[in-house]
Amino acid sequence: MSFNPSRLSRRIVVIVFALMMVVAACGGDDAETTTTAAPSGDGGTTTAAPVAGDVGVSLILKNTSNPFFVSMADSAQAEADAIGVNLTVAAGQADGDTQSQINAIESAVARGDKGILITPSGDAVVPALDAARAAGLYTIALDTPPNPATAVDITFATDNYEAGQLIGQWTAATLNGEKAVIAMLDLFNDSVVSVDYYRDQGFLNGMGIVDAVDTSGNGHEPSTGNYNGGEYEIVCHEPTNGAVDGGKTAMETCLANNPDVNVVYTINEPAAQGAYDALSAAGSAEGVIIVSVDGGCDPGLRLVADGVIGATSQQYPGKMATLGMQAIKTLADGGAAPEVTSGLDFFNTGVSLVTDNPVAGVDSISVAEGQGICWGG
């Protein structure tokens, strides 16, 4: 057979083109598609983000119904696109769905991801996190440290105790000596999560009711006594699961215990919305102080502007996610690991009290100021 250079060149081009098509079909670096899997059998959902680089990171959220966690996912994706990271996002249907998180951790290990960002839903995820670290993945908790905190390499979070203290101090000053009849609308009553007891007990510390943190859980303080300004009575500790419907049910239970509630502590702003709905339905919303934590753009700050929430402690989930993405990429590129904030066992991403009714002695920013930095920080 005679040798034909031009025919050989054409064959090489065809082969190279075919190989490029196979790589693209397998999701290579230039793929720009986003696919969302249907909910898995355990209630979790997983989103495969556009492939942007060789460094894989998994963001594992408690749920995707709370705007707080949605903002985390949005910020993480924006940073992944900016720094060339392949991001996968997984979440359960509700707080406490640890099995979905365990599945997502195991998938991250199997995929060969470089790291995991997680908002732990409970202690059940710890063995899976231990296994991920043993496999060489760098693990970062966002917002909620696991128990024990050493189950991850570092946590990027709000100082949740300080967040609680700020709304407690503001409440005590706002009452101006009036008796406080308090409803405590927590996260859970069937599991112990640090973000839950830190916010709850930080609030009580800010009110002057407790002196120290009880890591065994909530509801162990005296139900009556004196706060910084007058007498108090705690009529309930009810779980909300951090959701509107949970907040409504919890508030209905508290009102059944004592219809004279005039202070409502809530774990987050969806729970605060539910509490207000229950108070309104009972004709009891007038004059009740509702305080919360998150400082979300909407509904959080809108509820403060509308007078539904008196004050909220604003945290910055977008900053948590962005810093976490940067940390894993830096490590993957051979850089140094992040360090905790001096004097703390986590990296503090900051907190601000947001209210349009400031009180003397408690630093705060206005709703307008909060709206300029909500979610991001």
pLDDT grade, residue 25 (50/70/90)? very low
Could you tell me the domains of the chain?
33-158+318-338 (3.40.50.2300), 160-314+350-373 (3.40.50.2300)
pLDDT at residue 28 is higher than 50? no
Structure confidence at residue 20 (pLDDT): 35
Structure confidence at residue 190 (pLDDT): 86
Structure confidence at residue 274 (pLDDT): 98
Structure confidence at residue 263 (pLDDT): 98
Mean pLDDT of the region 176-194: 94
Answer for the pair 167, 291: CB distance below 8 angstroms, yes or no. Answer: yes
pLDDT at residue 268 is higher than 70? yes
Structure confidence at residue 53 (pLDDT): 60
More confident residue, 53 or 10: 53
Structure confidence at residue 193 (pLDDT): 86
Structure confidence at residue 303 (pLDDT): 97
Mean pLDDT of the region 34-54: 42
Q: What percent of the chain has pLDDT over 90?
A: 79
DSSP alpha helix (H) spans, 216-366 = 244-257, 269-281, 302-305, 317-332
Triad 207, 213, 217: Cα angle to 5°: 105
Task: Report the alpha-carbon distance of residue 108 to residue 60 in Å, rounded.
Answer: 10
Each residue's pLDDT tens digit, 97-136: 999 999 999 999 999 999 999 999 989 999 999 999 999 9
In angstroms, how far is CA 259 from the centroid of its own chain? 32
pLDDT grade, residue 44 (50/70/90)? low
Task: Report the alpha-carbon distance of residue 271 to residue 248 in Å, rounded.
Answer: 7
Tokens encoding 127: 């063995």
pLDDT at residue 227 is higher than 60? yes
pLDDT at residue 234 is higher than 50? yes
What is the gyration radius of the CA atoms in the chain, in angstroms? 24
Q: Mean pLDDT, the chain, as a whole number? A: 87
pLDDT grade, residue 57 (50/70/90)? very high
pLDDT at residue 39 is higher than 70? no
Please state the pTM of the whole predicted model: 0.78
pLDDT at residue 1 is higher than 80? no
- Phi-psi category of residue 231: left, alpha or beta, with phi > 0 → left and psi -120 to 50 → alpha: beta
Mean pLDDT of the region 276-296: 97
| Of 121, 106, 49, residue with least CA distance to 325 | 49
pLDDT at residue 43 is higher than 80? no
The b-or-e profile of 198-227 (16+ CB within 10 A means b, else e) is bbbbbbbbbbbbbeebeeebbbebeeeeeb
Each residue's pLDDT tens digit, 297-316: 988 999 999 999 999 999 99
